[in-house]
Structure 1
């Protein structure tokens, strides 16, 4: 009997431990906050009368600069690997921040994507290079904007205007995702967007229950 009991414990313990940690990972996973508060863009110009804000929305934010012809590949990668999966979520938005000098080109840029994407759902905000730089610096990342106010990195901002990303022991902090790197979008960014959406859905269910 003792032998069978020992064997039973040795067999059951690893399974029990696995189920416990697996359950904990699913139920308590939360995308790390890397910057507590980024500057909002409520005062930026738009193509419509509506105000674009990071508040109360899960935002994928891109600083794509004034040379729109050169970022079509990045935008295509981002749209196909990430955005098209989440356009149906009411509290999800894709925000492109551009300098005022790119405003005349924007309509043609959006039209180019209409046959392959839901580009009508993109939210585009315009401002001066100086104000764009202020917003970008508030993200507190190790990246920089070039002379056209461009960076290939895109960012996840939550409903409280906090920058989310990865804080991995091996990889270090990942503040943004390279829109030119299909593997990074498909694996890391896609996983992280799923996590933050699941996080808010779980919070919504708990609030309804309470």
Structure 2
């Protein structure tokens, strides 16, 4: 009896869990596209590629020290959970002149996890504002060119989010101030988009093998 229980736990339960998750992705469909064709941020120096990346996009603004808590929440709840996936990245947009502050932040994050997929791009304040507006959200940057919200950008540079969120209706971004929101909403949505790409990859591989 004990051996049977152990076998169920080790082999059957993971299979059932996988099938449940896979069917859930199929039932819910793809994560909705809220804004198409987000432009490449080529006006920024540093890491500035969106195409072919699954990107968590954020705007840290001019007061990096005040955004450390947001960055740590994002690192612990999202980055550490998904950083092992290929083509996944964090991309933070920052005004020029804050390279030293960003370096210090990255060093602090590095004490908690690997930070090879934490990327930063620097540009003029006007370019930061214009690029944010190109996302087409219902949100605004603060006077310091920051927002606590981060956004999911897919490999085709589409902003993904929710169009039937129980609290906001249309949900463009996720508030990094709220650990509950990262845990209960953003983590689920990142799982969906990663599963979506894995499913597409499996279909492509199956078609090639025929």
TM-score (ref. length: structure 1): 0.83
The number of residue pairs the alignment matches comes to 186
In the TM superposition, structure 1's runs of 4+ consecutive aligned residues that sit over 3 Å from their partners are 22-26
Partner of 1:13: none
Q: Which residue of 1 aligns with 2:171?
A: 174
Q: CA deviation at 1:86?
A: 1.0
Question: Aligned equivalents of 2:22 and 2:201: distance in 1?
Answer: 19
* Number of the residue aligned with 1:14: none
Q: Quote the residue 1:43 is aligned against.
A: 43
Give yes or no for contact 1:39–1:138 (8 Å, CA) kept in 2: yes
What CA distance in whole angstroms lies between the structure 1 residues aligned with 2:165 and 2:107? Answer: 42
Instruction: Flag the structure with larger Rg.
Output: 1
- Cα deviation digits, residues 90-138 of structure 1 (max 9, x gap): 1111001100021232111211221112224311000001111111001
Q: Which residues of 2 match residues 150-189 of structure 1 at below 5 A?
A: 150-168=146-164, 170-171=166-167, 172-189=169-186
CA distance in 2, matches of 1:150, 1:59: 18
Once residues 59 and 92 of structure 2 are traced to their aligned partners in structure 1, the CA distance between those partners, rounded to angstroms, is 6
SS in structure 1 at match of 2:151: strand
Q: Distance in 2 between matches of 1:23 and 1:202?
A: 9
The unaligned stretches of length 5 or more in structure 2 are 1-20
Q: Is the 8 A contact 1:40 1:135 kept in 2?
A: no
Gap runs ≥5 in structure 1: 1-21
Matches within 5 A, 1:60-75: 60-75=56-71
- Asked if residue 103 in structure 1 is aligned to residue 99 in structure 2, the reply is yes
